[in-house]
Amino acid sequence: MAFWFLPELLIPILVVLLVVLSLHIKSTRSKNSLPPPQNWPIAGILPSLVVNLHRLHDYIAAVLPSTGNSFMAPIASTTRFFVTCDPANVQHVFTSNHANYPKGEEFAQIFDVTSGSLFTADGESSRRLRARYQSVLSSPRLLASMANCCHDKVEKGLLPFMARMARTGAPLDINDVVSRLVFDLYATTVLGVDPCRLSLLDMPPMQVADAMDTVMEVGFVRHIVPLFCWKLMRCLMVGPERRLAAAQGVLRRFTLEMVERRRKTVCSIGRLEENEEEQQARVTSSSVVDILSNYVNDPEYYENDDHLLQATLITYMIAGRDTIGTTLPWVFYNLAKNPHVVLGIRNKLAPIASTRKAAAPFDAGAMMVFEPEELKPLVYLQASLLESMRLYPPIPIEREIMVSSDVMPSGHEVRAGDIVIISLYSMGRMEDLWGPDCQEYNPERWLSKDGGKLRHVPSHKFLAFNSGPRMCLGKDIAISQMKTIVAAVLWNFDVVGVLLDGQQAVEPKLSCLLQMKNGLKLKVQKREM
């Protein structure tokens, strides 16, 4: 009796399958033809999405120019998507009429493991939480601790590992290496615990990191599958929903363990006698400055079985680990294909290295890690990062929902309840924005004519760090950390080759993040200096 409606689902499912089959046959006959997606009865444009799922972002990027950079996309007859990459529409959604385009309740359900945190919040709740996050991330002690941790991870983890791989001549998967490095970095700075995944010789699987990847992969499925479909799968515990439930369990157990460990530490310090004040001061000053410390004693965050605190910690991990860990492999991919850019970056690093060597004795065999203040003036290095994020934004789409009916600057009428999809991936490939060479990796496009300054690009044209009231709070932290990592690798190592024989093509996986599907295997050689 509980599933009385299942027979009614058979008809639309059969229709979708038949349409998908016909479209597949059609697509094999004319692979170079990319017309706007067909709006089919009942199924809407879902068949077109299914047929092109393996290259969805490229498909949308190819379709949008032929539609004037925006089109309405009904799915399963009950859901309407408005897909756009028009900067005027982006500015309207994120800034001019921001209140009318919240993330919405369905978004909070899609990412229910972060429910209640800034990641899913809207309105007044979002403003209040954002102020708290901003207060935490602006702490000078925390910022210094994060910079020191990044330096330490690069010096004692990343570079020795790469040197070992260079000596053996074995290829390394830079995607996996970066993922481990950034997971270690953010587990340390968010939770105060160092998993040391990168330094272990056998490179064991990362259960928690894999669980975070699963959240984003299944979140992508939830984005494109009608709500009732994925909720039915969740009820039956089948398909991707079964994987997601297991992943959420891993994340909740891990964060709860970290919280309980921290509370025990805080309680043990709190029990020190009055005449032990000096000992307490030593413990406090030597302890790791982390984000968890700002929340662990706040009653608001440990009521309701710690759900909000866990969701908050997972959000911090996602914001840092997933964004930087997704971006850096694409950065190294682009740099490996463009040795002239690597040479340009090294030319800017050379004076810093020379000054260092002249100021203090330097072991010729030692590897060099640059400080954030040293790298701050290196706009060409930053331009190389931004250019990679233009072509491969860590979050390729943004999703908002309409509260009240509206007319977009592009002239499209959108109704209350419509879902707005903004394709960041397509925005980075618009000739109107970036010129006829928009498909090419060219850091110079970010520089002033004399090359001495970064050219200003409004956030509604370059959305990698979001825009308006939702501008990324950790933007400067992320850029600084990426510059530290990239500068150290490029100065100390040569990257040899991009695709090794037998490696599958480098392409994104189906996820809310633009992660590499098959990784990126490279060979490295130690530079002689």
The domain that contains 176 carries what CATH number? 1.10.630.10
User: Is residue 32 in a domain?
Assistant: no
Neighbours of 498 (CB within 10 A): 17
Whether residue 4 is contained in a domain is answered as: no
The tens-digit pLDDT sequence of the chain (529 residues) is 443 334 444 444 444 444 444 444 344 433 444 677 777 776 777 777 778 888 889 999 999 998 999 998 877 666 788 999 999 999 999 999 999 999 999 999 999 999 999 999 999 999 999 999 999 999 999 999 999 999 999 999 999 999 999 999 888 899 999 999 999 999 999 998 887 766 554 445 568 889 999 999 999 999 878 788 899 999 999 999 999 999 999 999 999 888 888 887 766 545 444 444 444 333 333 445 899 999 988 888 876 567 899 999 999 999 988 889 999 999 999 999 999 999 999 999 999 999 988 777 666 567 899 999 999 999 999 999 999 999 999 999 999 999 999 999 999 999 999 999 999 999 999 999 999 999 999 999 999 988 889 999 999 999 999 999 999 999 999 999 999 999 999 999 998 765 555 555 788 988 999 999 888 888 889 997 6
Amino acid sitting at position 275: N
16 found inside a domain: no
Can you tell me the distance from the alpha carbon of 246 to that of 224, in angstroms, rounded to the nearest whole number? 21
Residue 425 located in a structural domain: yes
CA-to-CA dists, residue 146 to 138, 143, 386, 484, angstroms? 11, 5, 21, 12
Number of domains forming the structure of the chain: 1
147: Cβ contacts below 8 Å, ≥ 6 apart: 372, 480, 484
For the full predicted model, state whether its pTM sits above 0.85: yes
| Beta-bridge partners for 84 | 70, 422
Backbone angles phi, psi at 525, to 5 degrees: -130, 140
SS3 per residue for 451-513: CCCECCCCCCCCCCCCCHHHCCCCHHHHHHHHHHHHHHHHHHEEEECCCCCCCCCCCECCCCC
The CA angle 413-416-422, to the nearest 5 degrees, is 65
Residue 394 lies in a domain: yes
Backbone phi and psi for residue 49, each to the nearest 5 degrees, phi listed first = -65, -40
Number of Cα atoms under 13 Å in the Cβ half of residue 99 = 3
CA distance 99 to 404: 10
Is 8 part of a structural domain of the chain?
Answer: no
H helices of 187-276, in order, are 207-224, 227-236, 240-270
Q: Which residues contact 457 (CB under 8 A, 6 or more apart)?
A: 446
Q: Does 522 fall in a domain?
A: yes
Query: Does 196 appear as a known binding residue?
Result: no
Task: Report the distance separating Cα 242 and Cα 405, nearest Å.
Answer: 37
Domain membership of residue 207 as a residue range: 68-526
**Gap between the terminal Cα atoms of the chain:** 75
